[in-house]
Copies of this chain bind each other. A is one copy, B any other.
Amino acid sequence: MNVLIVYAHEEPKSFNGAMRDTAVRVLKEVGHTVEVSDLYAIQFNPVGGKQDFTALAEPAIFKYGVEQTKATEAGTFAADVAAEQEKLLRADLLIFQFPMWWFGLPAILKGWVDRVFAAGLTYGGGRWYSQGVFKGKRAMLSLTTGGGPTIYSPTGLNGEMDTLLFPIQHGMLYFLGFDVLPPFIAWSVARSSQEEREKYLRAYTDRLRNWRTSETIPFPPLEEYDETLQRKQAVN
């Protein structure tokens, strides 16, 4: 199986770096092919726009989604975007490894999504959510936080972690059709001991060894929505 780790930390000696190294090692040990997009190292440009394309289909007025769809047909994605799309398309497991910044993805990783998850190529024409292009493939967030778990509990000051990750797990990964594994969260690593960090890496190792069989987040399939895209039975 092929695994793509999209890694967004500038400091190789960081705990995110250790998590990336652990994942590469463990996944290779079980026989997978592992690719890493080290976004800081490759100086990935996260700004979506005209430079995503070698030619514009409608230069008079720039419409990003239109250009992405046309570029999918014409093969006119810029080389940096096309290279990442090729990695994405061959991945059976996609991992985002990142420090949570402002309750979401660091911009360099958000922009990887903006540019690589292109209309036409990765969704469109009824291909989304449980009927998405990446149906049957899996994805997982692996992140570090500043705060501890209680501040992200349902009654915690920062809001519930599931809610904060919903735009990413549901809106980006499940949107493309991925089955989304529960996130692996290393809480408050800046304030953790060496022993706690080693414990996290062992727990992450276990998670990685079981990625093909672990239960995924039960987002509802398209069949549970009516023709106006409303959930047929309200589930509270």
Contact = CB atoms under 8 A, between A and B. Distances in A.
**Chain A interface category by residue count:** 35 or more
B106 A155 contact: no
A156 B117 CA distance: 22
A158 B123 CA distance: 14
Interface in A80-103: 99, 101-103
B47 A108 contact: yes
B129 A101 contact: no
14 contacts: A10-B62, A10-B64, A14-B61, A46-B46, A47-B107, A64-B99, A65-B190, A102-B110, A102-B114, A105-B110, A108-B111, A157-B229, A159-B166, A159-B167
10 closest residue pairs by CB, A with B: A107-B111, A103-B171, A103-B167, A46-B107, A157-B229, A11-B62, A155-B231, A107-B110, A10-B49, A107-B107
Given A102-B171, A110-B111, A157-B230, 20 more contacts: A11-B63, A14-B62, A46-B107, A46-B108, A63-B190, A65-B190, A102-B110, A103-B172, A104-B104, A104-B167, A106-B111, A107-B107, A107-B110, A150-B229, A150-B230, A151-B229, A155-B234, A159-B166, A159-B167, A159-B170
